[in-house]
Chains A and B, each alone.
Chain A
Amino acid sequence: DTAVSQTPKYLVTQMGNDKSIKCEQNLGHDTMYWYKQDSKKFLKIMFSYNNKELIINETVPNRFSPKSPDKAHLNLHINSLELGDSAVYFCASSQVGGYNSPLHFGNGTRLTVT
């Protein structure tokens, strides 16, 4: 009965490769997010989708492309991976409305680029 699930949990790859991280939520939420947590534990928003529409796109390199086939799924594809992309990536979901719907996070994907 996992609420927000991400796969894979760990991803080790070489520079220059292309990889994807998948996220699914079964909470019926209409908004999904990708956050990046760097080595100093700082969490920063990357993207947000509401009902499959992109509503937040922070200053993220074009190599990162989110895709939302439906409101329960938000995948993250990364092209030409670089060493600086190594981080933990969190998917999250919520319902529009703030207080009564805080963000629910997946368990994160630790990406290591060598």
Chain B
Amino acid sequence: AQTVTQSQPEMSVQEAETVTLSCTYDTSESDYYLFWYKQPPSRQMILVIRQEAYKQQNATENRFSVNFQKAAKSFSLKISDSQLGDAAMYFCAYRSANFGNEKLTFGTGTRLTIIP
């Protein structure tokens, strides 16, 4: 079974600074997908960024980028120019590429606080 670990329960960053959230995972599969979801206090689950395991190029979405290290099974999220609206719980998630096992397995989350 796959597991996802987020070792930072809480992080804080000054507004306009850069912060990196860590995520590691364990799997024996070679093909899979990785995601970062954001959950603000409104409790919506919002997709932030996604990465295919077979792509070496790191995904970027505006101020959000990932550092994907397949051999190390690491998938960190970098948020540049942090804004107050970035304050939320951030969840790293793994998804198998095998049909019938396409559930998302989540990490325990990192609560990000933005300091004005």
Q: Point out residues on A near B: beta carbons under 8 Å.
A: 31, 33, 35, 40-45, 48, 50, 55-56, 88, 90, 92, 94, 96, 98-99, 102-105, 107-108, 110
Contact = CB atoms under 8 A, between A and B. Distances in A.
Given A90-B45, A102-B50, A96 B102 contact: yes
A103 B109 contact: no
Contact of B100 (A33, A43, A55, A99): A55
Contact of B52 (A31, A43, A50, A99): A99
A99 B50 contact: yes
Contacts of B106: 42-44
Contacts of B108: 40-42
B91 interface: yes
A96 B101 CA distance: 10
Contacts of B103: 33, 45, 48, 56
B47 A107 contact: no
Interface size for chain B: under 10, 10 to 19, 20 to 34, or 35 or more residues?
20 to 34
Nearest to A45: B103
Contacts, number: 59
A98 B101 contact: no
26 contacts: A31-B102, A33-B103, A33-B104, A42-B106, A42-B109, A43-B104, A45-B104, A45-B105, A92-B45, A96-B102, A98-B52, A98-B95, A99-B33, A99-B50, A99-B52, A102-B35, A102-B50, A103-B47, A103-B104, A104-B47, A105-B45, A107-B42, A107-B43, A108-B43, A108-B45, A110-B43
A105 B52 contact: no
